[in-house]
Amino acid sequence: MSDGVEWGVHVCVLLAGLPEDAALPAGKLAEYHGVPAAYLAKHLQALAGAGVLQTVKGARGGYRLARPAAQITVLDVVEAIDGDESAFRCGEIRRRGPMAMPAREYTKPCGIHQAFMRADEAWRSELALSTIADLLVGVLSDVPRPTLEKGARWLQESAR
């Protein structure tokens, strides 16, 4: 999994805390998270392309969530950034060696591939249970008040 996934989820949680209609420019999102702006920009574009974020044009422009935080899951962010391919790469090695058969005989994935597909589904189902709104609630309850206030001041100065 790419680093971009962690960054992308953090970005969404931060944007979920913005007042409605406010947006944050890419540079500010990179500054807030202390990550390289050029790399983050690539992931922000992927999130916008997938309909998770929305770009707002103009002097007060930047990024904001494309829909309510309760309707964006962690899985949405993962798939926007890393795609929906399983971590298991099936090399179809069953087709090699002395038990190899003509290609037409392989009509379904082998049991090994199927076991990893089921595991991948379990992984995705679990990530589909966490929404950005849930994560924001967690931050608000876990982070000490003075730190939250510092963050809120920074947001107020930075949001457009």
Residues that bind its own copies (CB under 8 A): 1, 3, 5-7, 9-10, 13, 31-35, 74, 87-91, 93-94, 96-99, 101, 105, 108, 110-112, 115-116, 118-127, 130, 134-135, 138-139, 142-144, 147-148, 150-151, 154
Q: Which of 73, 86, 93 is nearest to 134 (CA)?
A: 73
CB within 8 Å of 143: residues ≥ 6 apart: 151
* Tokens of residue 78, six digits: 């993962």
Asked whether the beta carbons of 82 and 4 are under 8 A apart, the reply is: yes
Q: Which of 12, 28, 95 is nearest to 62 (CA)?
A: 28
Q: How far is the CB of 93 from its own copies (least distance, A)?
A: 5
Q: How far is the CB of 47 from its own copies (least distance, A)?
A: 15
Q: How far is the CB of 160 from its own copies (least distance, A)?
A: 17
**Closer CB to its own copies, 9 or 65, in the complex:** 9
